[in-house]
A and B are shown apart, each in its own frame.
Chain A
């Protein structure tokens, strides 16, 4: 079937506005992850879902960041009152279960630019 999809592919917003980023994982994948990649950097873990639950939110940089997952499928990452330092590529990945012995399949990412 299809891979992980993300929307929008690009988002330009003004400082202070809220944004929502969407991730559609591969059907049947119970685990879903959000990462952030700043220019020229490696990936920074944000949050992990197992089903609809997020057992680990420790990677979220501030309380302006939140995420939810519904129906064990689609996930939305919301950034409130965006700041310029939020500019990055936000990547979503899913795996059949946890990445122990399972590869993560990544979406193409959403490039967020905060002006």
Chain B
């Protein structure tokens, strides 16, 4: 069963705008990771945030984590056409498994 659930399922924005997507999960975690997938293949790791961290930045990406609400958000600033992809959150609990959500499909219009 999937641990994370992304919201919204799909997002369409204009190039240059910011894109925000959310992830909610059910059980306690060790860390939460965001991945990007282009054209249904090849996931690329974007960022990892540990359970004792609240915010993390990487380039145009900003991730927040609220363990009290069991939720995380991914913000992509100044979006580009190349950011068009599906974005997945994945949680790691006390073991080795990554539990993925169903993903958010982001379309950036030129």
Contacts and interface: CB of A to CB of B under 8 A. Distances in A.
Q: Is the interface of B mostly helix, strand, loop or mixed?
A: strand
Contacts of B2: 42
Nearest to A106: B43
Interface residues of B, number: 26
A109 interface: yes
Contacts of A101: 30-31, 48, 50
A103 B90 CA distance: 11
A108 B45 CA distance: 13
Contact of B44 (A31, A33, A106): A106
Given A101-B50, A109-B41, A42 B101 contact: yes
A92 to B, nearest CB: 11
Q: How large is the interface on A (under 10, 10 to 19, 20 to 34, 35 or more residues)?
A: 20 to 34
B45 A105 contact: yes
Contact of B99 (A45, A50, A105, A108): A45
Interface string B27-40: 00011010100001
Interface of A: 31, 33, 35, 37, 40-43, 45, 48, 50, 56, 89, 91, 93, 98-101, 103-109, 111
18 contacts: A35-B100, A40-B102, A41-B102, A42-B101, A42-B102, A43-B100, A48-B96, A50-B96, A89-B41, A91-B43, A98-B96, A99-B96, A100-B96, A101-B50, A103-B48, A104-B98, A106-B44, A109-B41
